[in-house]
Structure 1
């Protein structure tokens, strides 16, 4: 029997560390932490992003993480904590689960970029490299 998205989210939440906006803000300037925005480039352009975050669209994440892939991004091979986020936290929770299974140290921003922005934390213009 197939599982639904709620079960997938519950399973990911059991595996992946979640951080709220206050903790994420405290981690934001730490040199050993990398924020990764997995939203679509159109979302970045429309809504902005967390300053200094890397854009890694969800559809390319596994390819960008795997060093054997021709699409590998070296920053995803660094020994750092990767804080994944999306608009509300669901996509990033699943993305963090996959990244963690691929060997990265991960956390997911619960409440996502929406909670970050509502908390009054800094927002940069969105761009997609």
Structure 2
């Protein structure tokens, strides 16, 4: 099997996962049919996160998503629209593809990540 480059993987993810602008994601905050998912590492989340979001680091996503996985979190298979976010959008795009590959298709990733979230005038929760 030929090695695949990040550019290829990102193009594939972008073709499979819907993108949501930060401004639209801000409007979706508080919507009962939407769940925000932070795919960053714990040390990044400790610096601030979107209120009401759950933490599902990309490195553990398969184990958290799989119903037979050792770290399964039923929140990811809750029937809600998932809006994934990270620092800049790249990891959340790849995480969205992983979820799509695992059969979870109502997924979006936030373009520009938390930088765009803050630029849209939204705040982060800390603590």
Q: Which residue of 1 aligns with 2:60?
A: 60
Residue matched to 2:88: 88
Q: Does residue 74 in structure 1 map to residue 74 in structure 2?
A: yes
Task: Give the structure 2 partner of residue 106 of structure 1.
Answer: 107
C-alpha separation in 2, matches of 1:101 and 1:24: 23
Q: TM-score when scaled to structure 1?
A: 0.92
What displacement does 1:16 show? 0.5
Paired residues in the alignment total: 125
Residue 122 of structure 1 and its aligned partner are, at CA, apart by 2.1
Q: Distance in 2 between matches of 1:14 and 1:77?
A: 22
Q: CA RMSD in A?
A: 1.1
The unaligned stretches of length 5 or more in structure 1 are none
- Provide structure 2 residue ranges, at least 5 long, that are not aligned to the other structure: none
The CA deviation at 1:118 is: 2.1
SS of the aligned residue for 2:46 comes to helix
Give TM-score scaled by structure 2 length.
0.93
